[in-house]
Homo-oligomer: A and B are copies of this chain.
Amino acid sequence: MKTIKDIAALAKVSIGTVDRVIHNRSGVSKKTKERIEKIIQEHGFQINKTARILALNKKYNIAVLMPTVESSSDFWYLPKKGIEKASEEFEMHRISVNYFHFDPLNLNSFKDVFDKLLENSFNAVLLAPIFLNEAKERLIYLDQRKIPYVFINAELEGANNISYIGQHSFDSGALAAKLMSLLINTEDDILIVKVRRDNVHHSTIEDRISGFKSYFNTRKTPIQIHEVILPKIKDQETINTLLHKKLTNHQIKGLFIPSSKVSVVANYVEEHKLKHLKLIGYDLNEENVHLIKNETIDFLIDQDAFFQGYEGTKTLFNFIINNVVPPKNRYLPIKLLTKENVKYL
């Protein structure tokens, strides 16, 4: 473990420059910043004990911007549990966590809640920037106020987040495609089912779809890929009508649902006894686990939801309290589950 002086000497820069990098302040070239960060990561960084004790006596406010959690079967239930666990562990540092919840299927809700967050003052922000453009416009205000932020679940290229913690969505889509190519024949078609309210770019979902399509494109298979958008997940009748219409195409054998909403489709498939259809989806909520156990869903991809919240929160705490600079990308395992291994999590 090195002091700030040692790091400055190793990087051949002034102590002020190292300090600027550690506190994520501007005025350091990208190249120098990267060199200093590399040294810190390699040698570790022993912070000044007195400064640390002062820091421990301060109070910190963290804002969390994430979708609403209504029940334990919601995807965001586990990340929230992770945030709570991390907060408890750091309680002695007097940290308070303030949640700003939005409807993940509703763009306006995301904008409104983010704007509300910006009206307040925080030491750090943990967020899922699932609507890319709208997030980008608002992150500028965090940058201006030098408030550090960490992304979980959804990635946003080129942003000044100190870290991203989540799955590599593109590669996880590619994996889904590989499995789909094993489940169906080359003369079959595939249907991608998106569940959402707004017709906007939802980053995680779109990245998964890009990865999925890219797998088939590079292999030049004759497989046709269709898409359908299910607009309101609570209106099962509309869902049934839309799915029924799409599935009159009897070439369709594989269904890829790039979200935890795979159960919406799986319930339709189960009800209509469409056993010849192969389903791949995401996440291990109770309903999905039931549907993979009875083999209505063939493969589920899990993304360590609890860990995203837990590690995201710890990363922010360690940055603002202990000056620990995290890796920019923290890609989590892409876990593959079937009926056979779902009981051993």
Residue tally, chain A, CB below 8 Å to B: 24
Chain B residue nearest to A174 (CB atoms) is: B340
Q: Of B334, B338, B343, which contacts A344 at CB under 8 A?
A: B334
A171 near B340 (CB under 8 angstroms)? yes
Q: Is A178 an interface position by the 8 A CB rule?
A: yes
Chain B residues within 8 Å of A332, by CB = 344
Chain B residues within 8 Å of A331, by CB = 344
Chain B residues within 8 Å of A339, by CB = 178
A343 and B167 CA atoms in complex are apart in Å by 12
Q: Is A208 an interface position by the 8 A CB rule?
A: no
Chain B residues within 8 Å of A53, by CB = none
Chain B residues within 8 Å of A167, by CB = 344
Chain B residue nearest to A181 (CB atoms) is: B182
A116 and B91 CA atoms in complex are apart in Å by 51
Contact bitstring A307-332, B, C-beta under 8 A = 1, else 0? 00000000000000000000000011
With A182-B182, A182-B183, A183-B182 as contacts: A341 and B345 at CB distance below 8 Å: no
Chain B residue nearest to A184 (CB atoms) is: B182
- Given A331-B344, A332-B344, A335-B336, 6 more A-B residue pairs with CB atoms under 8 Å apart are A171-B344, A175-B340, A178-B338, A182-B182, A333-B341, A336-B341
Q: Is A163 an interface position by the 8 A CB rule?
A: no
Tell me the minimal C-beta distance from A224 to chain B in angstroms: 21
Number of copies: 2
Q: Is A203 an interface position by the 8 A CB rule?
A: no
A332 and B172 CA atoms in complex are apart in Å by 23
Q: Of B175, B338, B340, which contacts A338 at CB under 8 A?
A: B175
A182 and B299 CA atoms in complex are apart in Å by 12
Chain B residues within 8 Å of A341, by CB = 171-172, 175, 333-334, 336
Q: Which 3 A-B pairs have the closest CB atoms?
A: A334-B341, A175-B340, A182-B182
12 example contacts (A-B, Cβ-Cβ < 8 A) are as follows A168-B344, A171-B341, A171-B344, A174-B340, A175-B338, A178-B340, A182-B182, A182-B183, A332-B344, A333-B335, A334-B341, A336-B338
Tell me the minimal C-beta distance from A208 to chain B in angstroms: 12
A332 and B337 CA atoms in complex are apart in Å by 14
Most B Cβ at <10 Å: residue of A167, A337, A341, A343: A341
Tell me the minimal C-beta distance from A43 to chain B in angstroms: 22
B333 near A336 (CB under 8 angstroms)? no
For chain A residues 177-194, which have a beta carbon within 8 Å of chain B?
178-179, 182-183
A167 and B344 CA atoms in complex are apart in Å by 9
A332 and B341 CA atoms in complex are apart in Å by 10
Chain B residue nearest to A215 (CB atoms) is: B340
